[in-house]
Amino acid sequence: MKHTDLQLNQYGIEQCMPGHYHGPAARDHYLLHYVLDGEGIFESGGHTYKLHRGQGFLIYPDQISYYEADSAKPWHYCWLGFHGAQAESFLIQANLTSASPIFTYDKDDLLYRYMEQIIHSKDLSRSRDLRLTGLLYMLLSLLVETGTAEQATDKRENRKKQYVKQVIDFIEHNYASKISVSRIASMIGLDRSYLCSIFKANVHFSIQDYLILYRINKACELIEHSELSIGDISRSVGYDDPLLFSKIFKKTKGLSPRQFRSSLVNDLAPFVEK
């Protein structure tokens, strides 16, 4: 039977010998490998990927690739080759492309069980082709579901990084003004606690500590490159109270603003930031 949308044309399972390799070579169909145990490398598009149990790789038609079993822990893998008018569409839904050929499926053994059923389909007579095609659809559906979940995770992480960038940009443009963490959170449109946790996880500073450090570093630049008074510098970096500014400066840098300026004027030993 010929299924134009999706057609399985080869499959198998193999425990590779140490160092066993294939390629460099190209094929005229899609070829999917899934690692059951052991390790190996896959090379494609100028990239080398080291894979282990629960991971797999996809070779696109006419794409030159090379793969090799590890010499100490050679991989045991299963594979299937297929083609069809809908094949690429399903693979894109699974986030599998020629530029992104690696996948991970380690939540359960369902993918392997589908592969086992494909391999054991030789015991069928009249329904074998139909069963093979159905199992191929089911196997690809697992990859689509996994790929969709990974994409959703990537989108969440990208959103978090964007929030962090917004905080940093806001501080860089408004450090000289009276700003607070609550105001920053309100501007971005997030709960204050949630924004603080995202920022610290990515930058390893709290928003408040980052704001203080940014202001003090700007103050150091002004002390070094201008004749402004300490009070003027204090107000220029967002502190109306020069005494509070001096206290925070010393806590951050280990020297008072005047001591810091003196160290520059007198050409003392380089200042070591604490």
Q: What is the pTM for the complete model shown?
A: 0.56
CATH class of 7-153: mainly beta
* 269/186: higher pLDDT: 186
pLDDT at 273 over 50: no
> Residue 89's pLDDT band (boundaries 50, 70, 90)?
confident
Cα 208 to the center of its chain, rounded Å: 27
**Cα–Cα distance for residue pair 70/67, rounded to 1 Å:** 10
- Give the H/E segment covering residue 79: strand 76-83
| H-helix segments, the chain | 87-93, 110-119, 128-174, 181-188, 192-203, 207-225, 230-236, 242-253, 257-265
Contact in structure between 29 and 61 (CB atoms under 8 Å): yes
Q: For the domain 175-274, what is the CATH superfamily, name and number?
A: Homeodomain-like (1.10.10.60)
Say what the pLDDT of residue 150 is: 57
Return the domain boundaries, the chain.
Answer: 7-153, 175-274
> Residue 268's pLDDT band (boundaries 50, 70, 90)?
very low
Mean pLDDT, residues 180-196: 88
| H-helix segments, 41-127 | 87-93, 110-119
What pLDDT, in 10s, does the model give residues 250-267? Answer: 999 999 999 888 887 665
What pLDDT, in 10s, does the model give residues 189-227? Answer: 888 898 999 899 989 999 999 999 999 999 999 998 878
Say what the pLDDT of residue 225 is: 82
